[in-house]
A and B are shown apart, each in its own frame.
Chain A
């Protein structure tokens, strides 16, 4: 390796170092630190923090509450991402057509994205209110009767899902729209000449060509959904009776009680859950290719 290249290399590390320093100091070390804490019995107000190995993990894995939170998180991600994909795809297909007011429609679809999660959660909370919420008012006026949204596990679950889908479908829409716009129009023309109908074209041309984008978008959103915290914290607080407590929220609750050992162990388990999906994502995305 030549002298200039060596100097260049040193320079490159110099330019990268502020970025890496921030990431290492405020992300990598904290994760390792949390892993370290999870191996201890660490409760606020108890001065000694003895090393207990994997005992916290053993305790968590034996408790129903963790498995329940995991089930809630996974089913939330599954239902939420499925609905988002269907809605996002529909929206993207509409926005991809030459219709009047398309510019305005594209602006409108950005609005839920721009509303902060906490604020949208608060707004949905007031709309779900049993006695003066918008939804129950509508349901009563069409004769379906009011729903105690936060009162039963199933309705609380869907209350969270709907609010989340509203907030995140625009992101999906934008990604899929970008994917649709990358499909060359002559592929459609060829399909039309071959006599393919609207639905056939969608099924045999659009969908296969959109597949790579769909996979990336779905994986990205799944990773995000598995980490869900904000919206549940505000909307239901994890209730009723833990029915909407995600793994992130469960860990947070332990921290709140001052039990850092257990909280950290659940956090690390959350990390591992998301990590397994991340590995899939990096494999699917093949990210270095653009750089080579």
Chain B
């Protein structure tokens, strides 16, 4: 891999103010993208953008966590932190994708699911749990890309996939380093100290088998050269979608189950 950034530097790069968001990727790779809104229950959540688009002749359902680029957008999108209605929109769109046999592309970029009164009132935990379970029954290929920040259950909820790509300077972790430090050491300012121990870089996750492939960024990060990772992503996404479409739905689901079944490291005494 290029660059020798520390884990904490990668956290900063993944959150860089000029770092592109999912929007750029969608409009570059799928210029015909049409956004579909709403969960049909409560509201539309702009933290999650969903719709249909064609990437190199493959029509896909594309679902992305979108932090927004302007201040106005960032506030409207809650800085990419989805509410339950966002996850329920995902449930609607993945069922739709399955019905029409469209492969699904998830683009992950969130500090986490929104922690607030409204989100809790409308069942944040239930929404994430139900989405996790649903994704193990969706009989169409799922490809996920960790674009920038992959924070906790909010990222995992759209992280169940048959093939997972991750940008070089993206992070993916159980919690933000700030939250992690606050829980373990009661001091969020220790975030830079714990980032390394958290093993949240693409290299770490590749070594653990959590992700399948790392997509290189230009030296200095994605914001230095917008298009370096995009052309590689286009190739990988379409290549993988095509090969996964060859599998019969039963095998596809069995493989997806098997992938997540093996996660976990423990000791089992023989005696």
- Do A and B originate from a single complex? no
Write the residues of chain A forming the contact surface with B, with a CB cutoff of 8 angstroms: none
Write the residues of chain B forming the contact surface with A, with a CB cutoff of 8 angstroms: none
